[in-house]
Amino acid sequence: MGHQHFNGLKTAALLGGIFGLLLLVGGVIAGGRFIWAFALFGLAMTAYGYWNSDKIAIRAMHARPVSEAEQPAMYRIVRELSTRAQQPMPRLYVSPTMAPNAFATGRNPRNAAVCATEGILAILDERELRGVLGHELMHVYNRDILTSSVAAAIGGVITSVAQIGLFFGGGFGGSDEDRPNPIAMLLIALAAPLAAVVIQMAISRTREYDADEDGANLTSDPLALASALRKLESGTRQLPLPPDRELVNSSHLFIANPFRGDGFSKLFSTHPPMAERIARLESMAGYRR
């Protein structure tokens, strides 16, 4: 399933940018002495987040595993699409919330989980649900969980390191000569976390476009996903999730932004505008208004 755009290259460049930002912060704060310690710390946090990504997201949504008797449509759709993609069947979960949404997680296809909320199961018909589940499966097959884990973990390390450096008043140099310029230190402490967030958002948005396109190719029905996204745009606006910390950290996993996206907060949304996503899907189907 080839991409008709360069999102893979964009993602690689963005990941390089966030890792470079980590090294820059470490270099400024530590005077270059412990720069690789920061890099190793970032890798360790990435590994932890990646290995536990399924547990974290499922726990945050209070989701429970469901049997085929409970959710025959979910099982039928996911089994069909998994077979078509020649991938193993993931575990299926349902979250007891009426906020309409869905997400996939897990470090690889053999350890994947797909979760739908009770709200999304209530508002989508089976064709639309198939479009959503195709999107979520492609997140797993494209290894997007690894990508988002890397970005989130390193972004968190950047923020923590910048705050520690500011707390210690200018880094960890052994003498005054080794310490960074206090103005540079202040700028890094304030700007680096913001830059990390912006890069994470860019990575997440890029991955959403890919999952839309590849999911539509998997289902051979881009208009089904477009129709589902219209309902989700309205549904998530009316019933947003509460801004719990674990949910905020997992927001990039959802097919639609689970929180209110009004005003200034739209600039830091983990998802592209719904209108743009729908327009791309309609273009794939050759749809003209």
Vertex 269 angle, CA 139 and 47, to 5°: 50
Strands (E), the chain: 64-65, 91-95, 102-105, 113-117
Cα-based distances in Å from 95 to 5, 20, 79, 101, 257: 34, 37, 20, 9, 16
Active site residue 80: no
Domain boundaries, the chain: 7-284
Catalytic residue, candidates 128, 136, 208, 213:
136
The pLDDT tens digits along the chain (289 residues) read 444 445 556 666 666 776 777 777 766 666 556 666 766 776 676 677 667 666 777 888 999 999 999 999 999 999 999 999 999 999 999 999 999 999 998 878 998 999 999 999 999 999 999 999 999 999 999 888 777 766 666 666 676 666 666 665 555 455 555 555 566 666 666 666 666 666 667 677 888 999 999 999 999 999 999 999 999 999 999 998 887 666 666 777 899 988 865 544 455 567 889 999 999 999 998 865 5
Identity of the residue numbered 111 = N
Q: Are 256 and 271 in contact (CB under 8 A)?
A: yes
User: What is the pTM assigned to this prediction?
Assistant: 0.76
